[in-house]
Amino acid sequence: MAALLEISDLHIWFGAAEVVRGVSLTLEPGEVLGLVGESGSGKSVTSLAILGLLSPSARVEGSIRWKGRELLGLRDAEMRSVRGREIAMVFQEPMTALNPVMRVGKQITEAILAHERMSGREAKQRAIAALEAVAIPEAARRFDDYPHQFSGGQRQRILIAMALVHRPQLLIADEPTTALDVTVQAQVLELLQTLQREFGVAMLFTSHDLAVVGEMAGRIAVMRGGLVLETGACLDVLTKPQHAYTMSLLAAVPTLRTDREKPLAVLL
Ligand SMILES: Nc1ncnc2c1ncn2[C@@H]1O[C@H](COP(=O)(O)OP(=O)(O)OP(=O)(O)O)[C@@H](O)[C@H]1O
Ligand SMILES: [Mg+2]
């Protein structure tokens, strides 16, 4: 059976600089793959390549198969039918991903109506339900508020709600909590985990923070300098890292949480 997503020998250049140098990754349905690596290692460009969202100056070679179908070189119209509906994405900066001058409710109903036909009234009901699912208090009353009227954590919840309205099979979450403070970060990660399990959506989760990835992922791929250095089950990578670079990432994990039955606890 074909994997849900299969990236093979992906190369990405900006001018003469080869920033992704032969990356291969696979994701099975419902699986959470954590992509970890330092700033500039190529996590975001890899994520963007999947959705055809790289800037036109990028040159891309290799293969990205989605349910067996090649995504590289897909025409815009075909890509749009995959993007948002089958594969959705949440980014690091919730404020830049939301339109600051459009009411939040309208943004969500537009996202719904981009791929599904229904009345405005139905779409509004769906949007309110989506906001409730991500625990926005008094969702119906706040429907007509603007993005700046929500907190950073709430804005990221709104984007997660938008990403999941079409029940995608894959959610690409590129450093979704990096811009948030630590407490809010933990809440948003927990929400993502709950929704991931509830909907059975596969997730490609990127972070430069191995502790965060260790909380979320079933499997981890470690990237550096445009290469995947090692891939393995979360527990194996955390307890038996094969690469010196992974060891240095582990050594940099500041606090290990002991209060949860999570993989990192086994390190103690
Ligand atoms: N539009 C662009 N034009 C030129 N170079 C780019 C462009 N986008 C990314 N790069 C380069 O590609 C490399 C990989 O960048 P990428 O954003 O994927 O890193 P990252 O792993 O996501 O880092 P971070 O943890 O900081 O988000 C970097 O060297 C970056 O400077
Ligand atoms: Mg990035």
**What is the structure's pLDDT at 94?**
65
Confidence class of residue 180 from pLDDT cuts 50, 70 and 90? confident
The finding on whether 39 has its CB within 6 A of some atom of ligand 1 is yes
pTM of the model: 0.91
The finding on whether 43 has its CB within 6 A of some atom of ligand 1 is yes
To test the pocket of ligand 1, the residue of 43, 91, 177 to mutate (highest count of ligand atoms within 8 Å of its CB) is 43
Q: Which atom of ligand 1 is nearest to the CA of 38?
A: 25
Domain 5-86+166-267 architecture: 3-Layer(aba) Sandwich (3.40)
Determine contact, residues 5/50, Cβ cutoff 8 Å.
yes
Confidence class of residue 179 from pLDDT cuts 50, 70 and 90? confident
Q: Which atom of ligand 1 is nearest to the CA of 207?
A: 25
For residue 21, is pLDDT > 50?
A: yes
The finding on whether 208 has its CB within 6 A of some atom of ligand 1 is yes
pLDDT per position as a tens digit, 182-232 = 888 899 999 999 999 999 999 999 999 998 999 899 999 999 999 999 999
Question: Where are the domains positioned within the chain?
Answer: 5-86+166-267
